[in-house]
Chain A
Amino acid sequence: MSAPAAHHYTTTGLDSRKIAIWAFIGSECMLFISLISTYLIYKGRSIVGPFPHEEWTSPDGRHFEPILDILVTSASTFVLLMSSLAMVLALSAVQNKNLPKRTRGERILGSSKLWLWMTALLGATFLGFQAYEFTSFVHEGLTLSTNLFGSSFFTLTGFHGAHVTAGVIWLVSLLAIDYRRGLGPADALNVDIAALYWHFVDVVWIVIFTVVYLIQ
């Protein structure tokens, strides 16, 4: 890999890596909007339950409550939003690494390791919530093949969870670099690119939370 200070400028004067991540995020918008559209097209068209917001009794007399647990998902949404705050603070800490830290507050805010750890842990916590949700849904009788809701729900949220997982791995790799040689202002763009990906994963969840969980 080239040295962190090596720039990849284009004729626009912008770094090609940053242009690439924005182009990638643009293409990811298309992927997630297609998945959300598919979910909405199938919404309300399932023949058998369990359903997201309505009770259902099967022909053999089994009763199913509405399957979505809004309070649990609200907690996981809050966790992901706070991980975005931790991520911008990690980026800020890397950018300001060379500044003198006079007060305790400045030392805390200037610790890139602390904020990268926090972001990765919050991301992992979100994944834990998702694993709990998926497991409980399967126990309650909703799988990928149960009905149209199950298929579109697991595909959409599963793709999002895979993106969060990739983000956590990316953050852990940045942490490893930080422990090995320290991240400084010369690495700011690399951290910025990881941060853009992480915030994108967050904004996708903002839409999913409203469209899938809150709108009945």
Chain B
Amino acid sequence: MAHDPAHTEHAAADGHAGGEDQHHPGWSTYWKVAVILTVITIWEVWAYYIPSLVASRIFVPMLLILSGLKFVIVVMFYMHLKYDHKLFRALFTGPLLIAALTGIALLFLFGQLVARFGPG
């Protein structure tokens, strides 16, 4: 589809009233992001149906990394955090970090995560 990305970015700058950084990507970036998100989702579901992979130690870390990757891609490109003002990044990542650390602490507290130090 013939859509000039430079045109889009310029128009985006005109249309915004937020006062933020104005370099939003265009259609060509958006559909590539959608394809990447779809491929990662298919990879996750495919992994779920491989019993040897599910039983392996890499299964959970792999899923968490893939999920985290999708999360970051959506936040950066669809929510435009990559292009927006730093204050928005702080408003999002600050509470996210506090909540994530609290959640991890709770999982340790209730014994769902166990830290092992030293041999054995």
Q: Residues of A with Cβ closer than 8 Å to B?
A: 5, 7, 9, 12-15, 17-19, 22-23, 25-27, 29-30, 33-34, 36-37, 40-41, 43, 70-71, 74, 77-78, 81-82, 84-85, 87-89, 92, 94-99, 102-103, 105-106, 108-109, 184-186, 188-189, 192, 195-196, 199-200, 202-203, 206-207, 209-211, 214-216
Contact of B15 among A77, A96, A195 (CB under 8 A): A96
Please give, as numbers and ranges, the residues of chain B lying within 8 Å of A43 by CB-CB distance.
112
Chain B facing A: main interface SS: helix
Q: Which residues of A contact B110 (CB under 8 A)?
A: 41
Q: Is the Cβ of A89 less than 8 Å from the Cβ of B102?
A: no
Nearest residue, chain A, Cβ from B13 = A95
A residues less than 8 Å from B18 (CB atoms): 14-15, 17-18, 189, 192
List CB contacts (< 8 Å) of B47-89 with chain A: 47-49, 54, 59-60, 63-64, 66-67, 70-71, 74-75, 78-79, 85, 87-88
Q: How far is the CA of A85 from the CA of B67 in the complex (A)?
A: 18
Chain A residues closer than 8 Å to B99, beta-carbon distance: 29-30, 33-34
CA A207 to CA B44, docked complex, whole Å: 12
- Residues in B whose Cβ lies below 8 Å from that of A41: 106-107, 110, 112
Q: Verify B34–A95 contact, CB threshold 8 A.
A: no
Apart from A81-B38, A188-B17, A210-B67, what 15 extra A-B contacts exist at CB < 8 Å? A9-B19, A22-B91, A25-B91, A70-B45, A81-B41, A82-B34, A85-B34, A88-B78, A92-B24, A95-B8, A105-B1, A189-B18, A192-B18, A196-B79, A216-B54
Size range of the interface on B? 35 or more
Docked Cα-Cα span, A199 to B31, in Å, equals: 15
Inter-chain contact A92/B8, CB cutoff 8 Å: yes
Shortest Cβ-Cβ A-B pairs, 8 listed: A105-B1, A185-B15, A26-B95, A95-B15, A210-B67, A188-B15, A33-B99, A37-B103
Interface centre among B15, B20, B94, B107 (most CB of A within 10 A): B15
**At the interface, yes or no: B98 with Cβ under 8 Å from chain A?**
yes
Complex CA gap A97/B44 in Å reads: 38
Given contacts A70-B48, A189-B17, A199-B78, contact A29 B96 (CB under 8 A): yes
Whether A95 lies near B12 (C-beta < 8 A) is yes
Pairwise interchain contact B92-A14, C-beta atoms closer than 8 A: no
Cβ–Cβ contact A92 & B78, under 8 A: no
| CB<8 Å pairs between A and B, sample of 25 | A5-B17, A23-B91, A25-B92, A33-B99, A37-B107, A41-B106, A74-B41, A78-B38, A82-B34, A95-B8, A95-B24, A96-B8, A96-B11, A96-B15, A108-B1, A185-B15, A186-B15, A188-B15, A189-B16, A195-B78, A206-B71, A207-B67, A210-B44, A214-B48, A215-B63
